[in-house]
Amino acid sequence: MPDFAKALLDTIDLRAETKWLKQRLESENCPVVFCHNDMQEGNILMCQDFDKENNNADPKLSFDIANHFAEWAYDYTEPNHPFYREDWTNYPTDKQRLAFVRAYLDERGSRENPKKVLREVEVFTLASHFFWSLWGVVNAGTSKIPFGYWTTTKNCSKIFVNDMAKIVSHFPQNCTWQNKWKKCESPTKPKTAIDDAFVEADAVS
């Protein structure tokens, strides 16, 4: 394991973050639906059998959509390490995200408020970043497929921390499991410590 990864994992309390994130997501009461789990342009089969390994009925609706929106920022045609390019200027605009959610709900015949779903999607974006952060750690030591796993862990962890601060600031009233603002804050160590870990990661990865 690279030194920057050790520093990053020492900085972020994964158990505490998992507990906080689980409680935060459950407060949204998002429905469980049949999901793809990794919906991006290079991972979709049309009119063929679905990928049984990726599809399952456990994930939340808003996780799948949040993850799809995040994939807009990635280009997997890069031939060199880390074998992808990341550009968050390609992330869908508010108008594009709302149009997507409306089209999805129309297709399902749902009368659910698209703005409510989009709000859930914003919160579940945290779950997407957290998931791929851990995915990078696991696959770095097990996968034989060339890919920038540690780079993915570093980048997704950094985005998770940054977006977490925004979500807590924008939607504190949703922390219904604890009525006090202090209890809604993430248990991660002070941001200065996290920043130091990311600086080290950028220097050696």
Model confidence band, residue 125 (pLDDT cutoffs 50, 70, 90): very high
Task: Compute the half-sphere exposure of residue 65: CA atoms within 13 Å on the CB side of its CA.
Answer: 27
In this predicted structure, the answer to whether residue 205 has a pLDDT above a threshold of 70 is no
Give residue-wise pLDDT tens across range 64-121.
899 999 999 999 999 999 999 999 999 999 999 999 999 989 988 988 899 988 988 9
| CA 186 – CA 180 distance, rounded (Å) | 13
| CA 190 – CA 162 distance, rounded (Å) | 12
| CA 184 – CA 146 distance, rounded (Å) | 39
pLDDT value, residue 169: 64
| CA 195 – CA 204 distance, rounded (Å) | 15
- Ordered by start, the domain boundaries in the chain are 3-204
Q: Which residues are paired to 86 by β-bridges?
A: 74
CA distances from 52 to 37, 38, 55, 68, 127 (A): 11, 12, 5, 19, 22
Give just the sign of the alpha carbon dihedral 55, 128, 181, 187.
positive
CATH number for 3-204 (one of 3.40.50.2000, 3.90.1200.10, 3.90.660.10, 1.10.8.50): it is 3.90.1200.10
